[in-house]
Amino acid sequence: MDSLIFFYFAGIILVTATLVVALRNPIYSALSLLVMFFHVAGLYVTLHAEFLAAIQIIVYAGAILVLYLFVVMLLNVKREERIHRQSLVAVLLGATLLTEAALLVFQSKGPVFPDATSSGSAGEVTGNTESIGQVLYSTYLFPFEVASLILLVAMVGAVILSKKGLLDQKS
Amino acid sequence: MFDFGIKFALTLTQIAAVMGIVLLTVAILTLLERKVLSWMQDRMGPMEVGPYGILQPVADGLKLFFKEDIIPAGANRMMFMMAPVLSLVPALIGFAVIPFGPNWTVDFFGVEFKPFAISDINIGILYILAFTSIGAYGIILGGWSSNSKYSLLGGLRSAAQLISYELNVGLSIVGVLLLTGSLSMVEITEAQSGGFWNWFFFALPFPQAIAFVVFIISAVAETNRVPFDLPEAESELVAGFFTEYSGMRFAFFFLAEYANMILVSCVASVLFFGGWQAPLPILQGSGSMVWLTGIMWFTLKVYAFLFFFFWIRATLPRLRYDQLMRFGWKVLLPIAIGNIVVTSIFAYMFPGS
């Protein structure tokens, strides 16, 4: 039963992820991305990571993808040019990532993904949300703070970029 | 397998009951809103259908049901048909985690179930936030697929508005979550038991009254109600994102708006006003009476919030778009973040009070 659910989610994720790049209409691409986010959240739920599942939907589906749709609709792109100058870079990057994935799969000894029950046992006792909080603010405090610093830099950059025109006008 | 069957049937019954009550409340609200607005403007409101117009919702429903379903030329048919559903389903699905009464477990033919909450999941409030944010898709896609400039502008405005104010809703409830130490709606309600001085609106160590003000303003903005109804501003955008909709599809958007109002009122009463708890322990009754008074107080609180929605609709003029954005990002957001900081300091200094 569990593996059946896993293969359902995994299958839909694969299909919709392919559709994101294969579909011609950017709106449809964004919507298949939405379906994919929901199924990734479903996978998290099967791994007893309900907090991650909710955050996945709030952040990616609820905020980031809405902004994507916003931009696509504002620009009113009907048919996007699919093959352009980026294709060479895309092929190189894709080949690298594919090789890495293949190496990972063939070199690993045991199952690729550790058993959910063994690694999630700590989360069972205190609850997933609490254990994420404890780990984030103790073991991974430094990476956590670095991530927030990177986000701050991005925020400052966005403000500067949007204010650039204003400064030029004044001077 | 037999147990599973009973559990399934019980859950289905609960879902049907909750959906029925919510849709009935929507029908009542359509009349109540017109009546309340009329009284505030010194008018009678609908009086023709039935005594004092109480059968007006039935007439409205029948009218919408029999209207022709028009799909405009050049519209994206699939998206146009999907958008109302995408907007209604997230609005209804949030009710799954709302506790309507005491957290009792009833034994029914060997199967334990909770009669007053469809499900008590440990991320209850995040679940509601996640699905309210999905509701934006219905509005954006409805606006885009109509192939009309008014609709598109309405949809885009709504996207920007929902993203901005969703953040404030999320941040304003963090104080409550800090004081409870849980994301479950049932546990948040239980943490406020024993009288109105324990409700998070008033509770020590740090009353969440400021957070509540931020929450309720952002909630009005998220439900696209006056004074934040820019996505459907009649005077500038005809009717915004549902300009091109008619018949049942229009009714779906309409239902979604009212269901969202009810959901937000439920969340506000659970988070800040103790959910089904009575303001004084003596008013709660005892023993098997508790569920009756519980549901009664919950309904009373929810209707008080719904009245508040109508009240501000009759009172306040619509904001301009740049005012809306400035208010959300430069006023509400700093207040919400400040509330988190102060609440965490108080929660640290006075633990367990």
pLDDT per residue over A60-117, tens digit each? 888 888 888 888 777 765 555 555 667 788 889 989 999 998 888 887 665 545 444 4
A27-64 per-position pLDDT tens digit:
888 889 989 999 999 888 888 888 888 888 888 888 88
Burial B30-55 (b: 16+ CB within 10 A, else e): bbbbbbbebeeeeeebbeeeeeebee
Q: Kindly determine whether residue B126 and residue A55, on different chains, have CB atoms separated by under 8 Å.
A: yes
Q: Calculate how close chain B gets to A111, using CA atoms only, in Å.
A: 30
Give the pLDDT of residue B276.
82
Query: With contacts defined as CB-CB under 8 Å, which chain A residues touch B121?
Result: 50
The letter for the amino acid at B191 is: A
Which of A35, A40, A69 is most worth mutating to test chain B (most B CB atoms within 10 A of its CB)?
A69
Report d(CA B346, CA B353) in Å as an integer. Answer: 10
Contact check, Cβ <8 Å, B155/A127: no
> Domain ranges in chain B?
2-349
Angle at B238 (CA atoms; ends B235, B243), nearest 5 degrees: 155
> How large is the angle between the packed helices A141-170 and A128-137, nearest 10 degrees?
80
At B180, the pLDDT band (50, 70, 90 cuts) reads: confident
Class in CATH terms, A2-115+126-139: mainly alpha
Of A27, A58, A128, the CB nearest to B130: A58
Q: How far is B310 from chain A (nearest CA, A)?
A: 28
User: Across the interface, do A63 and B166 touch by the CB < 8 Å criterion?
Assistant: yes
B140 vs A128: CB contact, 8 Å cut-off?
no
* Averaged pLDDT, A16-33: 85
Instruction: Please state, as a whole number, how many other Cβ atoms lie within 10 Å of the Cβ of residue B158.
Output: 26
Nearest beta carbon to residue B137 from set A34, A54, A129:
A34
Provide long-range contacts, Cβ within 8 A and 24+ apart, for A2-6.
A2/A46, A5/A42, A5/A46, A6/A43, A6/A46
Among A40, A84, A43, CA closest to A59: A40
> What whole-number distance in Å separates Cα of residue B278 and Cα of residue B262?
20
Which backbone phi and psi does B325 adopt, to 5 degrees?
-65, -45
Chain segment A125-163, per-residue pLDDT in tens: 556 778 888 888 888 899 999 999 999 999 999 888 888
What whole-number distance in Å separates Cα of residue A166 and Cα of residue B48?
58
CA distance B205 to B130: 29
**Interchain CB distance below 8 Å, B121 and A34:** no
Q: What is the pLDDT of residues B198-244, one digit of tens each?
A: 788 777 777 888 889 999 989 888 887 778 777 666 666 676 777 77
Residues A121-153 as b or e (16 or more Cβ within 10 Å = b):
eebeeebbbbbbeeeeeeeeeeeeeeeeeeeee
Residue from B80, B121, B133, B139 whose CB has the most chain A CBs within 10 Å, to mutate: B133
Tokens at residue B46, please? Answer: 């609908």
B133 to A62: CB separation less than 8 angstroms, yes or no:
yes
Q: Are B53 and B45 in contact (CB under 8 A)?
A: yes
Tokens for A35, please give them: 């379906």
> B153 pairs with which residues across the strands?
none
Whole-number average pLDDT of chain A: 80
Listed by start position, the domains of chain A span: 2-115+126-139
Tell me whether residues A69 and B127 touch, CB distance under 8 A. no
Burial class (CB in 10 A: 0-12, 13-18, 19+), B97: buried
> How many Cα neighbours within 13 Å face the side chain of B213?
10
Q: Which helix (H) or strand (E) holds A162?
A: helix A141-170
Angle at B92 between CA B125 and CA B31, to 5 degrees: 120
- pLDDT mean over B143-169: 81
- The DSSP output letter for A160 is H
Cβ separation A51–B129 shorter than 8 A:
no
Q: Which of B79, B126, B163 sits opposite A67 (nearest CB)?
A: B163
d(CA B288, CA B295): 12
Residues of B in contact with A50 (CB under 8 A): 121-123
d(CA B101, CA B114): 10
Residue of B nearest to A74 (CA): B156
Considering only CB atoms, A61 lies closest to which of B134, B140, B143, namely B134
In this model, does residue A119 exceed pLDDT 60? no
Amino acid symbol at B278: A
